[in-house]
Amino acid sequence: MKKTFAIVLLSVLLALSAVAQTPQPAQGVPGGVRGGVALPSSADLRAESFDIVWTTIRDKHFDPTLGGVDWNKVREQYAPRAAAAKSDSEFYSVLQHMIGELHQSHFNIIPPEAIVQDDSPAPKGGGIGIDLRLVEGLPTITLVEPDSKAAAAGLRTGFIIKKIDDTTAEQIIGLFAKSTESQAIKSLRITRTFLARINGAPETPVRITYLDQDNQSREATIQRERLKGEMSERFGNFPPQYMEFEAKRIANNIGYIRFNIFVIGLLERIKSAIRGMSDASGIIIDVRGNPGGLGGMAAGIAGVLEKKQTSLGTMHQRVGHVNFAVFPQPNVYSGPVVIVTDGGSASTSEIFAAGLQELGRAIVVGERSAGAALPSIIQKLPTGALFQYAIGDFKTPKGTLIEGRGVIPDVEVKFTRRSLLDGRDVQLEAAIEQIKRQSK
């Protein structure tokens, strides 16, 4: 007998007691026998997983019409391909393409090998200390951490990545040439693919070919080092996530807070940092590159920025709706707030930014966000993979849909290669200017 269990993440955190988990298959040779009990074969597990994914979308998608997609026809098209898959990886690719027919965010198949199994608080992964974005269409370094391996190797903001080991930038971008996703989501996936290839196991080398400030091609072999942050705690089927958090005072007594994901382990740190800046002339909250996380945190953080009870918006499900209610908390910060976004800001980041923007509580500066704001949950499949699927659509307090649109900044500021080569963060500069204007 199966019990239902799943977790809600990336856009909303609900108290669900009856959600769905598939029991783990017994470990052993697929299709073998243990203790006289026949074990399911890989083919059987894949067939069961396929049925779960297809049926779940048919029965639980927030839009009964699936946006006009003929889901029965989709099954006819993909079921034979799934059955013919010769490996789990090929099967997961078929599933991902099938759910991609919906052309919506928050429908994903996460293979078992991509799931963090270790619950240690120390990160196991490594990196070289850079971040990048597509700037003017090219993969460009936008951040180099001080004292990092990348800094020691001479990498600087504004340098363009041309090759990672033996894979060219054109080859990586070409992987997405036939994608039917929005340009914002495509750019986000391209950026993450570059970073995934640059990062890897600690104490292993990566060879970076790049264009410097004079457009000269150079090469650096850099030893990856262990990530310096922490891992979040496992939350049901939501695996541990790498956490970064920064809170400091910058020029003009402005508070600056940056975090890379919305997870419970950061909630009290964020709220405490805001309360600790009660005398600041303004607070900048930087969610650039933040893909989201647990949606309930958006309202929780808003509770230390908003004096009255209100709402960040509403999640509309197939049956009923859920309000992202904001309840004022002790020691609310009442000064100016600016939220900085870019194309990597998604899901909970968008709910947080759009809600406070429409309430008139925050000014949004930077670039349009990803437009990927469907509340979703995760379910474990019989094969061991995780299946993420949306259970609702999100609308702001004024009824604006964020999915496919994104959060449009009040003050749009884009990176340019020139500004990055000059060592400037023009988006942060614009955020500071907004605080200074409101503080006069």
Q: Distance of CA 5 to CAs 19, 236, 385, Å?
A: 3, 9, 15
Token look-up 């009824």 returns 399
- Asked whether 275 and 288 are in contact (CB, 8 A), the reply is no
What fold, for 126-226?
A: Pdz3 Domain (2.30.42)
Q: Count other Cβ atoms within 10 Å, centred on residue 246.
A: 11
**Residue 176, Cβ neighbours under 10 Å: how many?**
14
> What's the confidence (pLDDT) of residue 121?
61
Q: Is 184 helix (H, G, I), strand (E, B) or coil?
A: helix
**pLDDT of 119:** 56
Q: Which helix (H) or strand (E) holds 20?
A: none
Residue 397 C-alpha from the chain's centroid: 23
Tell me the domain boundaries of the chain: 7-114, 126-226, 237-374+392-439
**What are the CA-CA distances from residue 408 to residues 291, 311, 363, 400 (Å)?**
16, 19, 11, 11
Nearest to 90 by CA among 43, 129, 54: 43
HSE-CB for 280 with a 13 A CA cutoff: 28
- Type and span of the H or E element at 103: none
Compute how many other C-beta atoms are within 10 angstroms of the C-beta atom of residue 40. Answer: 17
CATH number of 7-114: 3.30.750
Instruction: Please name the residues in contact with 363: beta carbons below 8 A apart, sequence gap of 6 or more.
Output: 336, 337, 338, 339, 357, 410, 411, 434, 438
First to last CA, the chain: 65
Q: How far is CA 380 from CA 25, 39, 91, 99, 347, in A?
A: 11, 18, 15, 16, 21
In this predicted structure, what is the pLDDT of residue 186? 87
440 residues of the chain, pLDDT tens digit each: 333 333 333 433 222 222 222 233 333 333 333 444 445 668 899 999 999 999 999 999 999 999 999 999 999 999 999 999 999 999 999 999 999 999 888 899 989 877 655 556 667 789 999 999 999 999 999 999 999 999 999 999 999 999 999 999 999 999 888 777 788 888 988 999 999 999 999 999 999 999 999 999 999 999 999 988 888 888 776 778 889 999 999 999 999 999 999 999 999 999 999 999 999 999 999 999 999 998 889 999 999 999 999 999 999 888 888 899 999 999 999 999 999 999 999 999 999 999 999 999 999 999 999 999 888 888 999 999 999 999 899 999 999 999 989 999 999 999 999 999 999 999 999 999 999 999 87
Tell the residue number behind the tokens 């669900």, with chain if given: 16
Q: What is the pLDDT of residue 106?
A: 87
Q: Nearest-CA neighbor of 436 among 251, 178, 222, 308?
A: 251
Q: Could you give the 3-state DSSP secondary structure of residue 209?
A: strand
pLDDT score, position 3: 32
What H or E segment, with its residue span, contains residue 138?
Answer: strand 138-144
Handedness of CA 349, 355, 357, 360 (dihedral sign): negative
Q: Which CATH superfamily is domain 237-374+392-439 in?
A: 2-enoyl-CoA Hydratase; Chain A, domain 1 (3.90.226.10)
Q: Would you state the structure tokens that stand for residue 252, as one six-digit string?
A: 């003009």
pLDDT at position 239: 79
Task: Report in angstroms the alpha-carbon separations of 130 from 143, 161, 172, 224, 313.
Answer: 5, 11, 18, 11, 34
- Predicted confidence at residue 334, as pLDDT, reads 96
SS3 content of the chain, % helix, strand, coil (to 5): 30, 25, 45
Which of 48, 3, 14 minimizes the C-alpha distance to 391?
14
